[in-house]
Amino acid sequence: MHNNYYMPTRVVSGAGSLRNIPAHAREVGLSRALVVTDPVIARQHYYRQAVDALEAEGVAIVRFEDCEVDARVTQIDAQAQVLRDARLDGVICIGGGSVMCAGKGIAIAAANGRSIRDCTGAGNFSRRALPMIMVPTTAGSGSEVSQWTVVKDDEHHAKLVCGGPLSFPDLAILDPVTLESLPIHVAAATGIDALTHALEAYTSSLGAPITDALALDAVKLLSASLRRAVCAAHDVEARSACMIASSMANMACGNARLGHAHTLSLPLESLLDMPHPLGVGVLMPHALAFNLVVLPGKARQLVEALGVRGVASLADSDVIAGCVSALRSLYRDVGFPQSWNESQLPRAQVRAMAERAVPGLYAGSEGLTKTFAGITGDATIVCPAPRKMSVREAEGIYAACLA
């Protein structure tokens, strides 16, 4: 089997790196840019400084500061039109996963002259996205180094994944100054999302030595730093480590792709408005235990990366249990939930969610027209995880996630 690793995004990191954004804008060919953010980030001092610096250095900007939680098809299409009408060169995104996904969607839709909905799926557009600079303000989504964007299609109650080799950002600027004002619960939730990216990449059947190394080191960094990063906002070292780890995790999962936690979370996010980190985070210990059964060697590497010592003499099943309990203890320490309640996932919806998960994460708008009638409990959920999961097994995992 031949492996292919591709991640062309330049990554600039370190305290103060955001100050050089005007020079970076010119380097990637942005003399007229759409700046994308949300109302919370628009009030932050580092955002105002960055925008002021861009204007002072002659980069003409149009602002879109109303990005909603979750990148929305309607907002993306409208802003792509703004970008085209104003003949802007590309986008500068300063924000979390929703902002970066929205900006990436705008850059794809504007370059391809059609709705982002029609570009969804894997590699479903032909023109290179417009130049993009990404400045993450959480250590979580990893969208800054990812070809993928996740967009919410309110008309069809669906979340759609979109991307391909033509939609990598040109530049990511990782400056921990953006994490100073991050609320504790957001730092915890986004950090757990980053950890799931690393765990799912490391256990993917599409993994390779390069993605394994990035993913395993991201697990080590996050499990060693997330507690401090969440509990002490002024711990710049810990928050910087989480930021780098979040990018590394996505450099891994961008190529190795994501597994059952993300695949089973998608219908909950699409149809029940489950927040992404809550969906994937609660599913992760169950998805990990399910898949590690067929990866005993990797389970041993993982349990050590999660900080458990003295595992050499343990049986394989104890190693898997060790991974799960290390994960759960991290959740407890950072105040992240271990389960959902019935208002988040009504028990009567469990079977329907398992059926909706069948097309997998990367089906794009094709999944919108799929009929779910006649799906049996034996049907397999499309996913690059190493172990096949049936609809019936997915039902069991959803039920186990309910408190």
C-beta closer to Fe ion: residue 24 or 104: 104
Q: Tell me the backbone φ, ψ of residue 267, rounded to 5 degrees.
A: -65, -30
Residue among 124, 103, 82, 98 nearest 171 (CA): 103
C-beta closer to Fe ion: residue 190 or 365: 190
Q: Which residue is nearest to Fe ion (CB)?
A: 193
C-beta closer to Fe ion: residue 177 or 201: 201
C-beta closer to Fe ion: residue 354 or 361: 361
Kindly determine how many residues on this chain lie close enough to bind Fe ion according to the rule CB under 5 A. 1
C-beta closer to Fe ion: residue 44 or 146: 146
Residue 190 CA to residue 234 CA, distance in Å, equals 17
**What DSSP letter does each residue of 321-390 carry, written as one string?**
HHHHHHHHHHHHHHT--S-B-TTTS-GGGHHHHHHHTTT-TT-GGGGGG---TT--TTPBPP--SSS--B
What are 103's two structure tokens? 């900006």
Residue 355 interacts with Fe ion (CB under 5 A): yes or no: no
Minimal distance, residue 330 CB to Fe ion, in Å: 16
Minimal distance, residue 261 CB to Fe ion, in Å: 8
Residue 65 interacts with Fe ion (CB under 5 A): yes or no: no
- Assign residue 301 a region (left: φ > 0; alpha: ψ between -120 and 50; beta: otherwise): alpha
Site string for Fe ion, 147-186 (x = CB under 5 A): ----------------------------------------
C-beta closer to Fe ion: residue 193 or 355: 193
Which residues neighbour 85 within 8 Å (Cβ) at sequence distance 6 or greater? Answer: none
Q: Are 147 and 168 in contact (CB under 8 A)?
A: yes
Residue 42 CA to residue 185 CA, distance in Å, equals 20
Minimal distance, residue 197 CB to Fe ion, in Å: 6
DSSP-derived secondary structure letter, 90: E
When binding is defined by CB under 5 A, the residue of 193, 212, 235, 269 that contacts Fe ion is: 193
Q: Of the ranges 102-110, 166-174, 189-197, 241-249, which one interacts with Fe ion (CB under 5 A)?
A: 189-197
The residue ranges that bind Fe ion (CB under 5 A) are: 193
